[in-house]
Amino acid sequence: MRVPLAWQAGPYGRGSCAAALYLASTLSLAALSVPLLYLVLRAAGIGPLALVEVVASAQGLRVLANSLLLAAGVALVSLLIALPMAILTARTDLPWRRFWTILGVLPLAVPSYVGSFAIIAAFAPRGSYLQVLLEPFGVEELPSIIGWPGAIAGIALFTYPYLLLTLRSGLFGINPATEEAARSLGLRRRDTILRVLLPQLRPALAAGMLLVALYSLRDLGTPALMRVDTFTRVIYLQYTLSFDRNRAAALAIMLAVTVMILLWVESRTRTRAAYWSRRGTARPQPVLRLGAWKWPSVLFCAAVASLTLALPIGVSLLWFTRGVRTGALGPLHWARTLEVTVNSLSLSGLTALAVVLFALPVAILAARAPGKLTASVERFAYVAFGLPGIVVALALVFASAQFLPVLYQTQVLLLFACFVLFFPQGLGAIRATLLQLNPQLEESAASLGYGPWRTFGSVTLPLAAPGLVTGALLVFLTAMKELPATLLLAPTGYDTLATRVWKATEDVYFAEAAVYSLAIVVVCAGLILAVIRRGGAAIPVDDVPQ
């Protein structure tokens, strides 16, 4: 649905405020285009014939098929988890709804590679905790979890909250009058859900599944642990072991094209959100009575929480207690943990602040004065999000070495990489909030003599605050867990919690890895709970029907 022309000529379509918005959007576009420009230059270095040879090679086609299968599998499993949980916690009389909602969001605090370590420790064919427990019953070897089952589970179990959050927001944004009209026309509850509720959730489904699929395409830790040759793993090996950067760049271009195709498919299934979907008198959402399904639904929520929270935290605590008992964790280790935690907090906080500051102008233009510039920024943002962190990092290494050598091996370059990687998370949350706001509020402020800047400070900014909190939270949580870009760009001696987990696990120091893993979980979970306690819109757990 197109934005009416009258809205496009609103307070942000002209004057100095518009100039500032367009300037900020142009700077964002320039930043987001750096990785793709780098790939084009690298691909040009091998020539068109060699590029086609790489793309059409058996390895290239196999990696493409593996990556698409992984993205599809992760998106499907995430949907099977997130959709029932969203409906149960938002629209039913499920017991302890607030409790299950919080547990459903907390897996965002667990890095997928930490979860994958826990899955391997718990379910590996030999020597795992489950296999040891089953030995008295004659089970000597479990089916192998390494490969596709482990890769899909290792990503989906810890990324489904992205889809859960978008679905819950979509459910609360649906006008209950549509369901009431369907029931009055004789539709049964099941038909109302399938023919009325789910079609209205299509934008939320498309946006959430896109985020999950893109995350799976750019994840490095889980495919490496589960030995699945996806784009990220093969590109990483090409860069670090084979030192064939041109071939790796060709594979990365294949990945970028794949992301563009996914974006096109998502745009075909998405309809522009409009504020009038909830116009009229606000009424409570209808409550679906579970009846005999009440306790099976509780068991489903408990099973999800056990796999996504109890399992990784329990395995990390076991490693931690063993380290304490054997004396592997000394005083120097605790001082190092504090230093690394401060590094992670500062990097994640600065990334969230930078993303919100630059995503807000783009979101305002996209919602109030859409044009080619904002559309280009959005496309470049999602393509950059789909690229593996190591590709973005090497693009910045190349750019800094050629044009700004003073930035090479600095925290500024690392911050810039995180900004490029996580910009779409902030942009999507802020834009979704602005699209649900009635633009006539801003028009009314302008008609009362408010200038664009005063309208922004008095009307738009306060109303967009929930989206700002959501975007900042998502960016902070993701930046805390970023691994490949930090491994490559971090200055000498500068570590984050994520890199310390990876290095400790590679060196088989499981007790040390457990400390850093628990630190990530504690920090991220504490932030999520703090936002919930303050009633933040990023995790709407209080607007559940009673």
DSSP conformation letters of 464-516: HHHHHHHHHHHHHHHHHT--HHHHHHSPTT---HHHHHHHHHHTT-HHHHHHH
Predicted local confidence at residue 546, as pLDDT = 37
Closest residue by Cα to residue 489 from 424, 403, 427, 399 = 399
pLDDT at 158 over 70: yes
d(CA 122, CA 524): 23
Q: Which amino acid is at 319?
A: W
Count other Cβ atoms within 10 Å, centred on residue 193.
Answer: 17
Within 10 angstroms of residue 333's Cβ, the number of other Cβ atoms is 13
Q: Phi and psi at residue 92, in whole multiples of 5°?
A: -125, 175
Give the torsion sign (CA, 168, 473, 377, 4).
positive
pLDDT (tens digit per residue) in 329-382 = 666 677 788 888 899 999 999 999 999 999 888 888 777 777 777 777 777 777
pLDDT at 350: 94
Amino acid letter, 47: G
CA angle 445, 448, 449 (to 5 degrees): 95
pLDDT class of 325 with cuts at 50, 70, 90: confident
Among 140-154, 348-362, 394-408, 482-496, name the most confident range: 348-362
Q: Which residue has the higher pLDDT, 262 or 437?
A: 262
Higher pLDDT, residue 151 or 218: 151
pLDDT higher than 60, residue 182 = yes
**Polymer length of the chain:** 546
Q: At 456, which amino acid appears?
A: F
**pLDDT range class, residue 474, cuts 50, 70, 90:** confident
**Structure token digits, residue 413:** 């370059």
Is there a contact between 64 and 260 (Cβ–Cβ < 8 Å)? no
- Residue 445: pLDDT band (50, 70, 90) is low
| Rounded average pLDDT over 154-163 | 90
Inter-CA distances, 19 with 4, 361, 446, 452, Å? 21, 10, 17, 11
Return d(Cα 169, Cα 72) in angstroms, integer: 23
Predicted local confidence at residue 78, as pLDDT: 93
pTM for this prediction? 0.78
- 288: helix, strand or coil: strand
Do 511 and 328 contact (CB within 8 A), yes or no? yes
Residue-wise pLDDT tens digits, 501-516: 888 877 667 778 888 8
- What value does the mean pLDDT of the chain take? 77
Among candidates 320, 337, 347, which has minimal Cα distance to 422? 347
Residues of the chain with pLDDT > 90: what percent?
9
pLDDT in tens, 405-438: 888 778 889 999 999 888 887 887 787 777 767 6
pLDDT in tens, 14-54: 566 777 878 888 888 888 888 888 878 877 777 777 778 77
Ordered structural domains, the chain, with CATH: 7-275+289-533 (1.10.3720.10)
* Proportion of the chain above pLDDT 70, given as a percent: 75
Closest to 361 in 3D by CA, of 33, 14, 16, 20:
20
Q: How far is CA 503 from CA 130, 222, 314, 514, in A?
A: 26, 15, 21, 12
**What pLDDT is recorded for position 277?**
44
70-84, 181-195, 217-231: which is most confident:
70-84
